[in-house]
Amino acid sequence: MPTPIRRILAASVGMTTLLVGVALLVLPGPGLVVMLLGLAILATEFTWAKHSMHRVKHHGNRITRGITRRKKPDSKSPDIDQDETTSNEEPSDR
């Protein structure tokens, strides 16, 4: 496909997808996913969209690393009652 037609097609499909994603932020649906898809379509032809995709990926990786680096809970969780778990007595029949 010739370059001008390809750019126009990528711009129209990408912007439409991006706008649908923005609408899905307030409507029920996967708004962020659709917005990222629209940005990815735009990034195939436009450098500004490619730079935006790199920024989104960078911040997404930072968020992911921050979530996975959080301290894991200890084996002795405070919500488990130690008296019930370490008791050697048999339950009484009531």
**Do the domain assignments include residue 93?**
no
pLDDT at 78 over 60: no
Instruction: Work out how many domains the chain is built from and give that number.
Output: 1
Q: 14 Cβ partners below 8 Å, 6+ apart? A: 38, 39, 41, 42, 44, 45, 49
**Do the domain assignments include residue 42?**
yes
**Do the domain assignments include residue 50?**
yes
Range of the domain at 54: 3-68
Q: Give residue 92's pLDDT band: very low, low, confident or very high (50, 70, 90).
A: low
**Do the domain assignments include residue 92?**
no
pLDDT in tens, 50-75: 998 999 989 989 988 888 887 666 55
Q: 41 Cβ partners below 8 Å, 6+ apart? A: 10, 13, 14, 17
**Do the domain assignments include residue 33?**
yes
Instruction: List alpha helices for the chain, DSSP H.
Output: 3-26, 31-43, 47-68, 82-86
**Do the domain assignments include residue 86?**
no
**Do the domain assignments include residue 81?**
no
**Do the domain assignments include residue 17?**
yes
pLDDT in tens, 4-52: 889 999 999 999 999 999 999 999 989 899 999 999 999 999 989 999 8
pLDDT in tens, 31-42: 899 999 999 999
